[in-house]
A and B are shown apart, each in its own frame.
Chain A
Amino acid sequence: DSGVTQTPKHLITATGQRVTLRCSPRSGDLSVYWYQQSLDQGLQFLIQYYNGEERAKGNILERFSAQQFPDLHSELNLSSLELGDSALYFCASSDAQGANTEAFFGQGTRLTVV
């Protein structure tokens, strides 16, 4: 158990809909990272927050957004969903600002868009 909790584990929704994925980082970790893992794109970095502030942005679509709350949990919002958004979405946390060597991953949320 990495200490990073993601909910829900599975999500099935229709095209055009909007979903919110939630991540609770390890106790004490200030950084949260979101990744998308799909068959055609592999594992891609989406966005990072550090202590509530956006720290780095990767290949995140404009239809997607994220935020980190004062209690340090984070949410990834995916809107106007398309079939191609079906993927495993991972959250990771670390206690540092950068892509620290000690980033711990959650189990992922598997999103299926039908």
Chain B
Amino acid sequence: GEDVEQSLFLSVREGDSSVINCTYTDSSSTYLYWYKQEPGAGLQLLTYIFSNMDMKQDQRLTVLLNKKDKHLSLRIADTQTGDSAIYFCAESPNNNDMRFGAGTRLTVKP
């Protein structure tokens, strides 16, 4: 079946940039999303990108989309300890259901 894949762990130092990568397989996906899940909390939509865009910037967050390689990345500039969480990449191939990756656990060390 179609899978969304992400690396499971990422560790960075406070102040550095974090880059979380994701690959997806359904080229018909219209929207691609990044969600953040903090311990004991639900998922929070961080940002999204339409499939006809290749970059989107929102404050410290930059999303890059390489549609040819079906590769999505999330860059967090000046990473803070409060950014420690699990980050989920998701695709929406038919604008109804969403398929999520397994999540990348970001640890930010002071």
Q: Residues of A with Cβ closer than 8 Å to B?
A: 2, 4, 33, 42-45, 48, 55-56, 58, 90, 92, 98-99, 101-108
* Inter-chain contacts of A107 with B (CB < 8 A): 40-42
Q: Report A26 CB to chain B, min CB distance, Å.
A: 12
Contact present for B102 and A99 (CB under 8 Å) = no
Q: Residues of B with Cβ closer than 8 Å to A?
A: 31, 33, 35, 40-45, 48, 88, 90, 92, 94-103
Contact present for B44 and A45 (CB under 8 Å) = no
Who on chain B is nearest to A105 by CB? B42
Given contact pairs A42-B103, A43-B103, A99-B31, A104 touches B98 in the complex (Cβ within 8 A): no
User: Which listed residue, A4, A48, A99, A102, touches B42 by the CB 8 Å rule?
Assistant: A4
| Bound form: Cα–Cα A55–B42 in Å | 22
Given contact pairs A43-B100, A101-B31, A101-B48, A106 touches B42 in the complex (Cβ within 8 A): yes
* Inter-chain contacts of B99 with A (CB < 8 A): 45
Who on chain B is nearest to A103 by CB? B45
User: Which listed residue, B45, B97, B100, touches A48 by the CB 8 Å rule?
Assistant: B97
Contact present for B33 and A45 (CB under 8 Å) = no
Contact present for B103 and A102 (CB under 8 Å) = no
Contact present for B96 and A55 (CB under 8 Å) = yes
Q: Report B56 CB to chain A, min CB distance, Å.
A: 11
Q: Which 5 A-B pairs have the closest CB atoms?
A: A56-B96, A105-B42, A98-B95, A43-B100, A45-B97
| Bound form: Cα–Cα A64–B34 in Å | 28
| Bound form: Cα–Cα A53–B25 in Å | 30
User: Which listed residue, A45, A55, A102, touches B98 by the CB 8 Å rule?
Assistant: A45
Contact present for B100 and A58 (CB under 8 Å) = no
* Inter-chain contacts of A48 with B (CB < 8 A): 96-97
